[in-house]
Structure 1
Amino acid sequence: MEHLPKVRNGAVAKRMKKKAKKPTLLNMLPEDAIVEIVSQLVSSSSKPFADLYSLKSSCKAFFEASKDKMVKQRIALERDIFGLTWMATDKECMSVLKSCGDAGNAEANFMLALINIFKKGDINRGAEFLKRASSSDHKAALYMLNILCVRLQKHNPFAEGNSHTLKADQRIFDDYDQLKWCREKVLNAIRLVTWNNWQDNAVASVRQCNNSNCGIRGWDCRCFCSKDCEWNHEYYEFCKAT
């Protein structure tokens, strides 16, 4: 006679079903608390994308929290931009950057600007992303925006009525080390999005000042006769480093 599997009676089955539906500690937390946990992780992690993907695949609560605007806004893209490019296709990468940029992530808008300018050749669209990023006090985006102004020779970024840009640029040049940091960050980001296939050949077109005292090196910076000369010199340094 074949041994048939035992069938649990109704009471036992009911208890097992009730036990299976018992909420976990994570599910008992408010949604805002879970979002804050994920936000803290992606803003402090050295590999935010890898950690975020792990969280999303671990449970439904983390998966839903990862879609929140706060998470996209606070994710530290600058720490793991290589992780994004290696873990996703170009289309997926652009989708993530666009989503984070729309949420107010300054680094995402900065990267979108460089992609549009140096990879797609859309300078107007790139300038819009730079303005978004610089409005969040993103130093490298502000630096690139002014380099772009010099490159195009269309308008003076220090013109009257643009006092916000003037104030921010002066703050950058108060610290020459920060200026050099911005230059290196921008150049490294451009090399990343273009796979080292970009070079600016317009160095010779930069107007040189006739004032012999303009550009004299001081203790920790150079002294210029005007902001226009200051940015022309910086553009020269920028092009020379490409």
Structure 2
Amino acid sequence: MPKYLEPNEKTLTLAGQKLSAELYDPAVGAMLGWLAAGDVARHSRYGELSQVVLNTAQGDRFLREDIAIETFVRALVPFLRRLDRGDFDANGAASVTTFFIGACRNRIGEVVWSHHTRIMELRADTEELLDRARNTAIGPDTVDGFELARDLLLEAPRNLRSVLLLVIYEGTTLAEAAKRVGVKPTTIRSQLMRYKNRIAWLHFRRVLEIPEATGLGQWARNTVEERKIVAEARRTKQSAA
């Protein structure tokens, strides 16, 4: 039997590349079908499944593709490592494709949960941010609010700014607005996450003043504090090495 991984067990050999290409369509196609049908729970073997992600994925083709491809990638190298160890019986009842889809069933639960974390983090205080951006009425008591709304929108990348304007003034969802602008919803979710982190840092550096008593202000402070803790832990680890 050919070897599918180089001796470092990370790089695919030519045989590994060929096999992965043969496995891609049936495995990813199967997972896309489970996600579109809302049927992942019946196929997933391990991990806690998030109904939030499963419901979102049913109506979001790009999220389905992200989950399926990420599961394929996570499952591939460990699977090829098992083949190289001789764990697959070529004379058995199951084909190598069926064997690999089984490996994907072992992984898809953890991938779904990782997207749950991303989606819930994205939702955290996003409504607060949008409410602040909606405050465009100019008057003696609202000038500060107007300036904050303007500054928040100016910090967003162009595509995200267009999406936010549709959400704010037309009441569409992020996914609907992304489609109208011609951007993948998953791209907008990634941009929104980076945008919110940028807002947190600008607030921390006092470039962007967000009222301390608001949920958005509290979120900005908490985000910065968490990042400072992580950065300090990394510095400590590097110093000890």
Structure-1-length-normalised TM-score:
0.27
Structure with the larger helix share = 2
Larger radius of gyration: 1
Structure-2-length-normalised TM-score:
0.27
